[in-house]
Amino acid sequence: MKSRRLKTFVIFLVILGVVYTGITLWKNASGAVPRELSEARVQGALISEIIVSLSEKSSTDLEKINKLDREGKYKEALDLTEDVVEQSQEIRDKAVALSDQIVTMTKSLSGIRSLEARQALLDAITNRLALVSKLINYSAYLGQLLDVLQKHFSGESFKNSDVARLVGQINSEVKAVNSFNIQATQAMEKFDKIIEK
């Protein structure tokens, strides 16, 4: 009799263990994040932060260039302008690297089973794409501004209104880049909360 009870109890424990393991595996599988996505989102966030930092530095440098121009320090202004050109190239390189991470994140969308988590990830991807789009605009405006400034500092004629217009457009793009970065970060935080449920 004891042997039968023990056998029944052991079978019950085995069934309970199998059910628990099955539920745990199912729950983990439904909320699992593909490794490629985890890596791409971390890299994408790091790259985005670098882009934001570089674009803010460029805006600060443009203000310094404007001040140097007003003070008649054209050589220093031209040197700083060349630094901004280099920063612009680095920003473009980072935008390409961010695009690669966005592609990886997009490919990982189908590996997310939760529709709510998938939507949060899609929101993050959309905001990162918008950030890259704004960087393209930023880079174009910065290139135009740098051409105008180089003409000015080398003594060629230029329109002062062009400088003010381009600086305004650049600052607008920098604000948009920052905004899209914040929105992408918030979307990923929402994704994390959903996945952790």
Total count of domains within the chain: 2
Q: Which two tokens stand for residue 8?
A: 């029944």
Do 46 and 123 belong to one domain? yes
Do 17 and 38 belong to one domain? no
Do 19 and 61 belong to one domain? no
Q: Evaluate if residue 5 carries a pLDDT over 70.
A: no
31-57 pLDDT tens trace: 468 889 989 989 999 999 999 999 889
Q: Tell me the C-alpha to C-alpha distance, in Å, between residue 15 and each of 12, 23, 147, 163.
A: 5, 12, 75, 75
Do 117 and 20 belong to one domain? no
* pLDDT at residue number 27: 45
- Residue 90's domain comprises 34-196
Do 149 and 72 belong to one domain? yes
79-123 pLDDT tens trace: 888 888 888 889 989 999 999 999 999 999 888 889 999 999 999
CATH for 137? 1.20.120
